[in-house]
Amino acid sequence: MTTLISSHRIAAPAAEGGAPAKTAHAPFLPTLVTFVATALLATGQLYGVIPLLGAMGREWHAPASALTWMASAFGFGYAAGFLVFGPLSDRFGRRRIIVTGIAATAVTTALVSLAPGLGAAIALRVLQGVTTAAFAPVAFTYIAERAEQRHRATLLSAVIGAFLASAVFGQLAAQGIAAVAGWRAVFAVFAVAFALVAAALRKVMLPGRPDTAGSPLDAYRAMPRLLAHRRLIPLYLATPVVLGSFVALYTGLALTGAAGGAAALLALRAAALPAIIAIPFVTPALQRFHGAHRATGALTLTAVAAALIGFAHPGTLGLAILLNAFVAGIGLTAPALIETIGGHAGPARGTAVSLFTFILFVGASFGPQVAGALSAHGLPALAYVLGALLALGATLTLTARR
């Protein structure tokens, strides 16, 4: 089996789990639609609870400090699940893991709607996060293996863009449903949506032959080797700053009041949607560049945008423009890192991408803490620190060039 993949493509084994043979490619448009819909739903669960916290607090007579765990609990379960399902997909197949996990998420999401109190709800949110994690790392690996080379970057960028857009989608959908039917109905509706996308994923994804050779623990045994891989170390070190800076900046906008009220902040999030929509169309044109170089350029763009936010003190329009540049850089960085990490990982691609996704969302979990520590000094201080971290990330990815 191939141990090193070309810098501009990732070899596509026919069977899921890595069994080598030639197979049909994944259908482009059905895969794009179902994967984007699933990504919006999956990561939307992290953000969708935010507009519901007030109603939950009133029903359970719980303080705001306790209710924030409704968001954090999902995030911790989500990140932990990446380390479970990516390696398992190497063993049992990509489609089986994704479809089973998303079907299970329909159940765990419905259970949240029935939670009798805050403690039970937090526990169920952890479980919901774990089952939802079956999608992201396995989907990245599936695209790298089964999509045509000319469609691979577009699909990866579209899924990454959906993860970013879910910050807007999750809150708007939850807010709209809750206004009509209450907060419990939000999770009931999302549960039905997960059941529908699970059925669609089963229909659209290509079946594959699981890899039955060796032990199911082989994927986990590969983790120390991947973390010590000299070409992967700088890429993994750069990964936390990608989503971490995204979450930190938007959290800082809220904490410092630079964006105005909650409605203005939501409008600024929505204002970045043009960049998110454009990413899948721009990425194919950049495929002639090595993945590590694309990551370096995208992180540099994001670092410059962050620094300008701090330096220029832009008004609402200027901030919206710079946020588009910032989000574009984030959206272009992630698929470039996935391609490069997968190329260096060889047959352990599924495990390597799972580690990437885990580190990516651990970084996102620390984003609010960074914002909380620096926002007292104003948005410029936060923007400068994020710009420096992103510049460091760009330097690290540059060293990963073969």
CA–CA distance, 148 with 145 (Å, rounded to integer): 8
Query: Do 189 and 269 fall within a single domain?
Result: no
pLDDT of residue 347: 76
pLDDT tens readout for residues 50-65: 788 888 988 998 887 6
167 occurs within a structural domain: yes
Given this model, what pLDDT does residue 289 score?
81
How far is it, in rounded angstroms, from Cα 305 to Cα 318? 11
Domain boundary among 143, 178, 206: 206
Q: Which residue segment(s) compose the domain that 99 sits in?
A: 25-206
Is residue 337 a contact partner of residue 290, using CB atoms and an 8 Å limit?
A: no
Q: By the 8 A CB rule, do 339 and 147 touch? A: no
* Pair (194, 276) in one structural domain: no
Query: Does residue 227 sit in the same domain as residue 307?
Result: yes
Say whether both 95 and 182 belong to one domain.
yes
Give the whole-angstrom CA distance, residue 226 versus residue 354: 11
Domain end point (choices 184, 206, 228):
206
My answer on whether 68 and 137 are in the same domain is: yes
Residue 192 belongs to some domain of the structure: yes
Considering the domain architecture, whether residues 373 and 261 belong to the same structural domain is answered as yes
Q: Is residue 212 part of a domain?
A: no
The answer to whether residues 33 and 162 belong to one domain is: yes
Q: Is residue 91 part of a domain?
A: yes
Q: In the structure, what pLDDT confidence band is assigned to residue 172 with cuts at 50, 70 and 90? A: confident
The reply to whether 57 and 117 lie within a common domain is yes
**250 or 215: which leads in pLDDT:** 250
- 19 has pLDDT over 80: no
Q: Assign residue 107 the CATH number of its domain.
A: 1.20.1250.20
Q: Is residue 15 part of a domain?
A: no
Say if residues 342 and 236 touch (Cβ distance below 8 Å): no
Is the predicted pLDDT of residue 240 greater than 90, yes or no?
yes
Is the pLDDT at 129 greater than 60? The verdict is yes
Low-confidence winner among 3-17, 29-43, 379-393 (lowest mean pLDDT): 3-17
pLDDT of 17 > 50? The answer is no
Does the residue 346 lie in any domain?
A: yes
Q: Is 6's pLDDT higher than 50?
A: no
Q: Where does the pLDDT of residue 7 fall: very low under 50, low under 70, confident under 90, or very high at 90 and above?
A: very low
**Average pLDDT over the chain, rounded to whole?**
84
61, amino acid identity: H
Mean pLDDT score, 255-275: 76
182, HSE (Cβ side, Cα atoms, 13 Å) = 9
pLDDT of residue 24: 79
Residue 37's pLDDT band (cuts 50, 70, 90): very high
DSSP string, 27-49: PHHHHHHHHHHHHHHHHHHHHHT
Is the entire prediction scored with pTM above 0.85?
no
- Does 370 reside within a domain? yes
Residues 235 and 121 in one domain: no
pLDDT top residue among 8 and 25: 25
Does some domain include residue 270?
Answer: yes
Percent above pLDDT 70 for the chain: 90
Percent of the chain with pLDDT over 90: 37
304 in the same domain as 162 = no
Specify whether 146 is located in the same domain as 239: no
Q: Among the three residues 206, 240, 258, which one is the final residue of a domain in this structure?
A: 206
d(CA 60, CA 55): 9
- 353/302 same-domain check: yes
Instruction: Report the domain count for the chain.
Output: 2
